[in-house]
């Protein structure tokens, strides 16, 4: 197998593991605000708040423990929260599960980003292909497979909830089993620098060897260095990945200098000029995702069309996201277009999306109830007086509502691969061969989680006031687009291959 295909296969195996894990988890996430109502908002707020906070120390944990080890250990809470739906409703258990997922998500996704980044760098070094193209290629490949997880779980959820009486028990039993399969696949994944085969039989054999070796170590016996298997844990994993990280001239004398602690993370976020202009984009991305999963699903989809449409809309969005990932991949690999074109199109679509739904929600939901609301500014002022917004369930849905809502979900799904994949790919190029790579990957989740948590808080405060939320998001989306444009034109090119001079100067 040639080098390129070997690296691609690792990314595909990583994506399949995440596919299984999040096929189990996404159904519960999508149903949070519709099944649990206010407690669902609180759970999502807790998850993304914990993710934002724990992501500050995630780079240190990843560097200390190892990327490969954390990929499977951090996935366990996702299985737990999915399995919790099989038990009688318990607010305490739900809260604990939400906290656990929020904390584990930081190391899980930081490890995923670093794994893809290292594979991209390795692919670029061995093939001579520009790192920008390698990161775009592998990230698009990952998210094309990963995005299908939502389609699978939500299709299954839609069918089960529509046909069967004891639907939730059957639904979450199957999803929990699928999540366990995902954990096993991630546990068998080799390190990105490893030359081991990806044959399943070989992986299982290596797993057994690693277990025996662990028993030998616990018994006090030493083992030869060259016999470590693909499931080496802890410091051994960190040693295997160390050559990819440049810790500076003194790193050989001070191994701990390679570990990006909290102080290093904060200094990185406050001093790096590129991060200053990307942070607004990440905040708006998190807020957009929070609005779509939370207020849009509850007030628009569930409110106008019914709760069964939540799974249907999620299924369609996931399918569109898979197709969009493959189309965006072809676009960004064209040097004449590149990632800058993908971002430009996505920013325009995002602004139009919020502008349209601000107008449509004002006419369809607010005015459709028969209540008198003079201007959108009135909704913006309601929060100061504590007035509740209109409950969208008072408005019966029509066929035109179905078309408009599904069209909006499709447009949102088209933008999704750009924000999820190519924004991370840009960070992987900027910080590809330095200790700052895990910090950059972790910062993505720090600020998208902050944006998500802020939006969930806004959804609670501006209850039912969708026009106000859309106006806020439209304004901040335009501001984020201007920030990204300034980054590309004045600070550091998004398509770094076209700016060799900036690259040489350490852009």
Domain ranges of the chain: 1-192, 261-371+396-506
Q: What does the pLDDT average to over 465-488?
A: 92
pLDDT digits (tens, 9 = 90+) for 297-318: 878 887 788 777 777 787 788 8
pLDDT of 247 strictly over 50 = no
**Dihedral of alpha carbons 331, 333, 339, 341, sign:** negative
- Reduce the DSSP state of residue 196 to 3 states and report it: coil
Q: Give yes or no for a contact between 178 and 16, defined as CB atoms under 8 angstroms apart.
A: no
Q: Report CA dihedral (371, 374, 380, 385) to the nearest 10 degrees.
A: -60
What is the 8-class DSSP label of residue 248?
Answer: -
SS3 content of the chain, % helix, strand, coil (to 5): 80, 0, 20
Q: What does the pLDDT average to over 334-353?
A: 92
Confidence band, pLDDT 50/70/90 cuts, at residue 216? very low
Nearest 5°: the CA angle 171, 176, 179 is: 130
Q: What does the pLDDT average to over 454-468?
A: 80
Q: Looking up tokens 């102080």, which residue turns up?
A: 263
Its pTM stands at: 0.74
Type and span of the H or E element at 323: helix 308-332
Nearest 5°: the CA angle 362, 363, 364 is: 100
CATH fold group of domain 261-371+396-506: Growth Hormone; Chain: A; (1.20.1250)
pLDDT for 55: 87
Q: Please count the other Cβ atoms lying within 10 Å of the Cβ belonging to residue 310.
A: 25
The candidate with the shortest Cα–Cα distance to 72, out of 170, 210, 171, is 210
Q: Give yes or no for a contact between 412 and 22, defined as CB atoms under 8 angstroms apart.
A: no
The candidate with the shortest Cα–Cα distance to 445, out of 115, 135, 109, 112, is 109
Q: What does the pLDDT average to over 268-284?
A: 92
What burial class does residue 80 get, using C-beta atoms within 10 Å of its C-beta: 0-12 exposed, 13-18 middle, 19+ buried? middle
Q: Give yes or no for a contact between 332 and 136, defined as CB atoms under 8 angstroms apart.
A: yes
Q: Would you state the structure tokens that stand for residue 507, as one six-digit string?
A: 């852009």
The candidate with the shortest Cα–Cα distance to 433, out of 64, 125, 142, 136, is 125
Q: Give yes or no for a contact between 130 and 498, defined as CB atoms under 8 angstroms apart.
A: no
Q: Give yes or no for a contact between 245 and 434, defined as CB atoms under 8 angstroms apart.
A: yes
pLDDT of 385 strictly over 60 = no
User: If you average pLDDT over every residue of the chain, what do you get?
Assistant: 76
pLDDT for 392: 41
pLDDT of 458 strictly over 60 = yes
Confidence band, pLDDT 50/70/90 cuts, at residue 41? low
Confidence band, pLDDT 50/70/90 cuts, at residue 464? low
Q: Give yes or no for a contact between 492 and 274, defined as CB atoms under 8 angstroms apart.
A: yes
Q: Give yes or no for a contact between 107 and 58, defined as CB atoms under 8 angstroms apart.
A: yes
Q: Looking up tokens 């001239």, which residue turns up?
A: 249
pLDDT of 498 strictly over 70 = no
Q: Give yes or no for a contact between 297 and 33, defined as CB atoms under 8 angstroms apart.
A: yes
The candidate with the shortest Cα–Cα distance to 283, out of 417, 428, 477, 140, is 477
Q: Which of 12-26, 91-105, 465-479 has the lowest mean pLDDT?
A: 91-105
What single string gives the DSSP state of each residue in 470-488? HHHHHHHHHHHHHHHHHII
pLDDT for 90: 67
The candidate with the shortest Cα–Cα distance to 346, out of 417, 415, 423, is 415
Q: Give yes or no for a contact between 328 and 142, defined as CB atoms under 8 angstroms apart.
A: no
Answer left, alpha or beta for residue 37, where phi above 0 means left and psi between -120 and 50 means alpha.
left
Confidence band, pLDDT 50/70/90 cuts, at residue 246? very low
Do domains 1-192 and 261-371+396-506 share one topology? The answer is yes
**Looking at domain 1-192, which CATH architecture does it have?**
Up-down Bundle (1.20)
Report the share of the chain in percent with pLDDT over 90: 25
**Dihedral of alpha carbons 395, 401, 406, 411, sign:** negative
Integer CA distances (angstroms), 21 to 82, 178, 188, 403, in order: 10, 7, 14, 31
What is the 8-class DSSP label of residue 57?
Answer: T
pLDDT of 37 strictly over 70 = no
Q: Give yes or no for a contact between 379 and 389, defined as CB atoms under 8 angstroms apart.
A: yes
**What is the Cα–Cα distance from 265 to 238, expressed in whole angstroms?**
19
Q: Would you state the structure tokens that stand for residue 14, as one six-digit string?
A: 């990583």
Q: Would you state the structure tokens that stand for residue 299, as one six-digit string?
A: 């007030």
Q: Looking up tokens 């398509």, which residue turns up?
A: 495
Say how far residue 278 (Cα) sits from the centre of its chain: 16
What is the 8-class DSSP label of residue 258?
Answer: G
């Amino acid at each position: 197998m040639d080098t390129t295909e070997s690296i691609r296969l690792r990314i595909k195996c990583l994506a399949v593991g995440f596919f299984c894990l999040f096929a189990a988890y996404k159904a519960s996430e999508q149903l949070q605000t519709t099944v649990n109502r206010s407690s669902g908002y609180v759970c999502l707020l807790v998850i993304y708040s914990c993710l934002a906070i724990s992501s500050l120390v995630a780079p240190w944990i990843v560097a200390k423990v190892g990327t490969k080890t954390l990929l499977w250990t951090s996935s366990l809470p996702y299985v737990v929260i999915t399995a919790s739906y099989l038990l009688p409703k318990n607010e305490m258990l739900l809260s604990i599960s939400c906290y656990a997922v929020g904390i584990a998500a930081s190391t899980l996704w930081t490890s995923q980003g670093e794994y893809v980044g290292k594979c991209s760098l390795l692919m670029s070094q061995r093939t001579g292909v520009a790192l920008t193209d390698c990161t775009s290629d592998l990230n698009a490949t990952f998210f094309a497979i990963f995005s299908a997880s939502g389609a699978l779980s939500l299709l299954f959820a839609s069918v089960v909830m529509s046909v069967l009486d004891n639907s939730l028990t059957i639904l979450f039993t199957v999803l929990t089993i699928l999540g366990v399969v995902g954990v096993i696949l991630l546990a068998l994944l080799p390190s990105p620098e490893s030359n081991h085969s990806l044959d399943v039989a070989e992986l299982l054999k290596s797993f057994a060897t690693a277990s025996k070796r662990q028993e030998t170590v616990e018994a006090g016996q030493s083992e030869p260095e060259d016999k470590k298997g693909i499931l080496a844990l802890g410091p051994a994993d960190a040693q295997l990945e160390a050559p990819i990280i440049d810790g500076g001239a003194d790193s050989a004398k001070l191994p701990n200098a390679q570990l990006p602690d909290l102080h290093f993370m904060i200094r990185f976020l406050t001093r790096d000029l590129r991060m200053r202009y990307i942070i607004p984009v990440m905040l708006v991305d998190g807020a957009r995702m929070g609005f779509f999963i939370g207020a849009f699903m509850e007030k628009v989809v569930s409110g106008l069309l019914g709760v069964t449409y939540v799974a249907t809309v999620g299924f369609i969005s996931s399918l569109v996201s898979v197709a969009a990932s493959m189309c965006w991949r072809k676009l960004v690999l064209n040097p004449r277009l590149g990632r800058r074109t993908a971002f430009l199109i996505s920013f325009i679509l995002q602004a139009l999306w919020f502008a349209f739904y601000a107008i449509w929600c004002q006419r369809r939901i607010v005015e459709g109830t028969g209540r008198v609301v003079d201007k959108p500014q009135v909704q913006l002022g309601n929060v100061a007086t504590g007035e509740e917004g209109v409950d969208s369930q008072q408005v019966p849905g029509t066929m035109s509502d179905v078309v408009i809502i599904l069209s909006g979900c499709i447009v949102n799904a088209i933008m999704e691969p750009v924000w999820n994949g190519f924004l991370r790919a840009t960070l992987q190029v900027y910080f590809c061969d330095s200790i700052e790579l895990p910090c950059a990957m972790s910062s993505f989740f720090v600020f998208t989680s902050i944006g998500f948590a802020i939006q969930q808080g806004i959804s609670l405060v501006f209850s039912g006031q969708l026009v106000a939320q859309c106006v806020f998001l439209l304004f901040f989306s335009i501001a984020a687009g201007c920030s990204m444009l300034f980054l590309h034109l004045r600070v550091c090119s998004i398509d770094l291959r076209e700016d060799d001079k900036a690259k040489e100067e350490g852009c």
